[in-house]
């Protein structure tokens, strides 16, 4: 007998509708629905996933009832999996581990490199290049009195070899070994749906209670004449290159474009960045973005905003033609966005709807238009951060097995890992004033007024806080070396709707960047120049 918790019923007629829906599921012999207890008992050999899907199709929600773990999976002792995850990146692996931890039989299907974008061609290799460039820059120059840099020689092939060893190690230890230890079966092959219930992997049909799409996204090239995918770099080629170009032209001044631009500039390339928008990092606070541009330009990166690329020509090197003039370089990196990987999955046959940009359409529970199929991470059009992918994967896996959780995206932090870095959460000042009007207040704390920055002789950047008329924190934005290390306090404040005085009341260690959070909150009410440096 299977017991289901029911949600959304408002009357006895609702219970009758659920009864009819469950009775129609193949394998069901008897059904008993208790409206007041919001429970259904089902006898027979029906698949629990089919039962939950039937309840949803009737307009209600259901989850399996089990003591202690209300959203845990019913143990499947047959060779067929409870959940098939398509994709082994951050969302897919997090989903697989979550489902396995609930006692489910899980398969992960992967046609490419295990680990997806982040470990192979994204976060890990790009941040390794950034750190190598930072080490080189510190050896060349310093603002600290009495410390005289002696210069540096960059051996780029050696840097690339170290990066590749790290990627290989993490791929094995954090993906392959972790999945194996959890009892997850890794299936190599291409997956495609033939209908709403059947997945075929390299010609072999796979039946499961539920499926989870975690195929991620891939670089998108804008429709510019002469822009050939087999000639230009995207972040994949830039993050994994083994030779350093003498010059690099970057199209796109978002986080990816700027991070790679600074990494290559510090490792020895001449770098130019072209951006179609009026400013770099359009999603970030305008003041912080403007200040970061000045710092990057002071390092020798040439940045041009408001530039429309008309044509790309390639004859050994690259020439980008624009109304503002021509730009030339040995290599061309296009960092102009990403598109979902959905093309060959057979989603039409599966009855899975896509949005206008081709991303899988999901609800707050990460369910698709097919009640047996869920989606998580970049393919679902969520904010393209590895931590959002992982969280959405965990939540989608639980829901696919009967839970009823909703994804909360109210306080997603953003970090651009340049030096200085930009980190932000919540609304910018412009966004807050557009939404809440003139009652919005903001304050700024220059790092010149932060003891930590003074002791390091590195006062680049500032912090900015945005609050509503009641003092609730709407946003926190930081431009500073290692800004990402301090933004979590802003995440907690925005998510919990804390007041700025709560930030002031907390203990913040002296001579840390986090002390700036308290000081910028204090700056809403008083002149921080009149405070003691230790108070």
How many H-runs (helices) and E-runs (strands) does the chain carry?
Answer: 17, 26
CA distances from 22 to 17, 33, 70, 76 (A): 9, 9, 20, 20
Q: Which residues of 177-195 are buried (b: 16+ CB within 10 A; e: fewer)?
A: eebeeeebebbeeebbbee
Largest distance between two CA atoms of the chain? 84
**R_g of the chain computed on alpha carbons:** 26
Task: Verify whether residue 510 is a known catalytic residue.
Answer: no
Q: Which residues of 498-522 are buried (b: 16+ CB within 10 A; e: fewer)?
A: bbbebbbeeebeeeebebbbbbbbb
Which entry of 60, 175, 235, 264 is annotated as an active-site residue?
Answer: 60
Which entry of 14, 175, 374, 500 is annotated as an active-site residue?
Answer: 14
Number of other CB atoms surrounding residue 166 within 10 Å = 14
Which entry of 9, 175, 374, 500 is annotated as an active-site residue?
Answer: 9
Q: Please state the φ and ψ torsions of residue 133, each to the nearest 5 degrees.
A: -65, -35
Task: Verify whether residue 319 is a known catalytic residue.
Answer: no
**Rounded distance between C-alpha atoms, residue 280 and residue 270, angstroms:** 19
Cα 181–186–187 angle (5° rounding)?
165
DSSP 439: G
Helix axes 123-140, 255-267, angle to 10 degrees: 40
Number of other CB atoms surrounding residue 54 within 10 Å = 22
Task: Verify whether residue 14 is a known catalytic residue.
Answer: yes
Which entry of 295, 387, 500, 533 is annotated as an active-site residue?
Answer: 533
DSSP 122: S
Task: Verify whether residue 1 is a known catalytic residue.
Answer: no
Which entry of 1, 35, 118, 264 is annotated as an active-site residue?
Answer: 118
Q: Which residues are catalytic?
A: 9, 11, 14, 60, 118, 123, 533-534
């Amino acid at each position: 007998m299977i017991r289901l918790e029911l949600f959304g019923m408002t009357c006895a007629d609702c219970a009758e509708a659920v009864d009819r829906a469950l009775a129609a599921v193949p394998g069901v012999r008897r059904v008993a629905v208790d409206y007041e207890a919001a429970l259904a008992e089902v006898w027979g050999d029906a698949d629990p996933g089919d039962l939950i899907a039937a309840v949803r199709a009737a307009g209600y929600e259901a989850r399996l009832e089990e003591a202690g773990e209300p959203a845990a999976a019913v143990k499947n002792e047959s060779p067929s999996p409870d959940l098939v995850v398509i994709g082994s990146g951050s969302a897919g692996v997090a989903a697989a581990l979550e489902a396995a931890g609930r006692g489910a039989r899980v398969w992960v299907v992967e046609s490419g490199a295990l680990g997806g974008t982040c470990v192979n061609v994204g976060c890990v290799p790009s941040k390794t290049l950034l750190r190598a460039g930072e080490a080189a820059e510190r050896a060349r120059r310093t603002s600290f009195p009495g410390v005289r840099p002696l210069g540096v020689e960059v051996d780029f092939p050696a840097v690339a070899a170290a990066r590749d060893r790290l990627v290989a190690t993490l791929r094995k230890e954090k993906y392959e070994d972790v999945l194996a230890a959890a009892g997850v079966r890794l299936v190599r092959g291409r997956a495609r749906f033939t209908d709403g219930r059947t997945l075929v992997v390299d010609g072999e049909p796979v039946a499961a209670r539920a499926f989870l799409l975690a195929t991620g996204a891939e670089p998108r090239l804008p429709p510019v004449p002469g822009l050939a995918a087999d000639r230009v770099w995207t972040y994949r080629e830039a993050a994994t290159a083994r030779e350093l170009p003498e010059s690099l032209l970057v199209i796109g001044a978002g986080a990816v474009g700027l991070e790679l631009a600074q990494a290559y500039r510090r490792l020895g390339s001449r770098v130019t960045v072209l951006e179609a928008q009026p400013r770099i990092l359009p999603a970030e606070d305008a003041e912080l973005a403007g200040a970061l541009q000045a710092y990057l330009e002071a390092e020798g990166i040439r940045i041009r905003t408001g530039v429309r690329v008309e044509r790309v020509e390639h004859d050994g090197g690259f020439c980008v033609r624009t109304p503002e003039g021509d730009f030339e370089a040995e290599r061309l990196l296009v960092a102009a966005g990403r598109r979902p990987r959905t093309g060959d999955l057979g989603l039409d046959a599966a009855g899975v709807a896509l949005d206008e940009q081709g991303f899988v359409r999901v609800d707050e529970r990460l369910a698709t238009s097919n009640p047996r199929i869920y989606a998580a991470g970049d393919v679902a059009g969520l904010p393209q951060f590895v931590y959002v992918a992982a969280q959405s994967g965990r939540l989608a896996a639980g829901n696919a097995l009967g839970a009823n959780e909703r994804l909360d995206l109210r306080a997603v932090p953003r970090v651009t890992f340049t030096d200085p870095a930009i980190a932000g959460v919540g609304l910018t000042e412009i966004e807050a004033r557009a939404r809440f009007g003139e009652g919005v207040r903001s304050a700024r704390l220059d790092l010149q007024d932060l003891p930590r920055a003074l002791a390091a002789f590195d006062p680049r950047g500032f912090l900015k806080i945005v609050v509503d008329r009641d003092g609730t924190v709407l946003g926190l934005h930081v431009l500073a070396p290692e800004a990402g290390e301090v933004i979590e306090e802003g995440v907690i404040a925005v998510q919990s709707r804390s007041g700025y005085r709560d930030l002031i009341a907390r203990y913040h260690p002296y001579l840390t960047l986090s002390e700036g959070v308290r000081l910028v909150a204090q700056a809403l009410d008083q002149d921080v120049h009149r405070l003691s440096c230790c108070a």
